[in-house]
């Protein structure tokens, strides 16, 4: 399943005019260049899961997510490439498919729509038994790839992160990638997650139990920049994305990375960072989610 060429990954310095003298440097790890669909951190969370499914002769990948889930889209495409079936259990009902769900269906993923109440029961044993009755030899990947294989795979992102960075910043959905990075990165480096949903700081409760004892320090999850909730955006956020693209020629996704970078700018303005700090922001991909606002963006992606 090694279909990704990591040579595409680069660290891109941001335009100094964007951050001024707030810090010594702001760079972006362009994981969005890995693959147009299995992009960013999704590849790292899925790789070991898909390999395990292949090695143990599972036929169908089953996973979970909402209507804007980059994880669902990445899993659908990864399963297609790996010669596996895929099933996506989707939270909520949709009169019309989102662009992300359309991409899932195009890659052959069977979509099952459930209520919020039923979705919250997805980790109960009865769920797996019921799914097993309808699909052959299923391998279940938790939402966001949040299992040991996903966390271990996310550790591989640290091969691109030098110890010279004082801060490692990334958007978080389930906290899987942050866990992997915190477990692998130098403990002196501060790792900060930006939750794009209301009251997303609760993710700290899910992350902490999976951190190594000596690495459960110097990290945090912030939720001040959700812009109304997960999958929500405002004119202010769109304007910010266009400004950022004009200055840095980096397209941000409307669901995750744009909200993180807006928060980063606010933090620099408020003096959170020291002038000598060197900041690395991780672009976690998911640009297909911009389909809902592409007509309002300067940036484009193929």
From edge to edge, which strands make up the β-sheet containing 110-114?
A: 110-114, 85-91, 60-65, 138-140
Q: In tens digits, what is the pLDDT along the chain, a chain of 302 residues?
A: 456 778 889 999 999 999 999 999 999 999 999 988 888 899 999 999 999 999 999 999 999 999 988 899 999 999 999 999 999 999 998 889 988 899 999 999 999 999 888 888 777 777 777 777 777 789 999 999 999 999 999 999 999 999 999 999 999 999 999 999 999 999 999 999 999 999 999 999 999 999 999 999 999 999 999 999 888 999 999 999 999 999 999 999 999 999 999 999 999 999 999 999 999 999 999 887 787 788 888 865 43
pTM of the entire predicted model = 0.91
Q: What is the DSSP string of 114-157?
A: E-HHHHTTTTSHHHHHHHHHHSSSEEE--GGG-SHHHHHHHGGG
What confidence score (pLDDT) does residue 42 get? 92
Q: 195, 174 in Cβ contact below 8 A?
A: no
Fold of 6-37+157-296: Rossmann fold (3.40.50)
What confidence score (pLDDT) does residue 23 get? 98
Q: What is the DSSP string of 170-238?
A: EE-SSSHHHHHHHHHS-TTSEEEEE--STTGGGHHHHHGGGS-GGGSSSEEEE-S--TTSTT---HHHH
What confidence score (pLDDT) does residue 301 get? 43
What confidence score (pLDDT) does residue 299 get? 66
- Two structure tokens written together for 103: 């991409």
Task: Establish whether domains 6-37+157-296 and 41-145 are of one fold.
Answer: yes
Class of domain 41-145: alpha beta
The CA distance from 25 to 22, in Å, is 9
What confidence score (pLDDT) does residue 277 get? 98
What confidence score (pLDDT) does residue 84 get? 95
What confidence score (pLDDT) does residue 6 get? 83
What confidence score (pLDDT) does residue 234 get? 93
Computed from CA positions of residues 87, 95, 196, 17, in that sequence, does the dihedral angle turn out positive or negative? positive
The CA distance from 49 to 209, in Å, is 21
Domain boundaries, given as residue ranges, for the chain:
6-37+157-296, 41-145
What confidence score (pLDDT) does residue 65 get? 93
Distant-in-sequence, close-in-space partners of 17: CB < 8 Å, separation ≥ 6? 247
What confidence score (pLDDT) does residue 294 get? 81
Closest by CA position to 248, among listed 12, 39, 5, 88: 12
The CA-atom distances, in angstroms, between 7 and each of 35, 161, 281 are: 11, 15, 19
């Amino acid at each position: 399943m090694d279909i990704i060429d990591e040579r595409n990954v680069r660290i891109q310095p941001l335009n100094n005019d964007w951050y001024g003298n707030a810090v010594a440097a702001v760079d972006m790890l362009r994981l969005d260049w890995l693959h147009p669909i299995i992009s960013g951190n999704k590849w790292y969370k899925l790789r070991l899961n898909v390999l395990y499914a292949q090695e143990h002769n599972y036929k169908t990948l089953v996973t979970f997510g909402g209507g804007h889930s980059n994880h669902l889209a990445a899993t659908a495409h990864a399963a297609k490439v790996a010669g596996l079936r895929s099933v996506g259990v989707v939270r909520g009902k949709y009169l019309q498919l989102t662009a992300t769900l359309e991409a899932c269906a195009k890659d052959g993923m069977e979509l099952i729509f459930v209520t919020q109440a039923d979705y919250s029961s997805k980790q109960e044993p009865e769920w797996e038994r019921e799914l097993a009755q309808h699909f052959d030899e299923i391998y279940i990947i938790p939402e966001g790839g949040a299992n040991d294989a996903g966390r271990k795979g996310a550790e591989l992102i640290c091969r691109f992160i030098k110890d010279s960075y004082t801060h490692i910043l990334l958007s978080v959905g389930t906290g899987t990638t942050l866990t992997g990075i915190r477990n692998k990165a130098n403990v002196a480096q501060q790792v900060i997650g930006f939750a794009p949903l209301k009251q997303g700081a609760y993710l700290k409760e899910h992350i902490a139990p999976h951190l190594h004892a000596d690495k459960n320090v110097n990290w945090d999850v912030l939720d001040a920049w959700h812009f109304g909730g997960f999958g929500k955006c405002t004119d202010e956020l769109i304007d910010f994305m266009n400004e950022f693209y004009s200055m840095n020629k980096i397209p941000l996704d409307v669901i995750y990375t744009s909200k993180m970078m807006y928060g980063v700018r606010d933090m620099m303005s408020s003096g959170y960072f020291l002038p000598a700090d060197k900041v690395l922001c991780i672009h976690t991909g998911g640009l297909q989610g911009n389909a809902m606002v592409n007509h309002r963006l300067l940036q484009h992606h193929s």
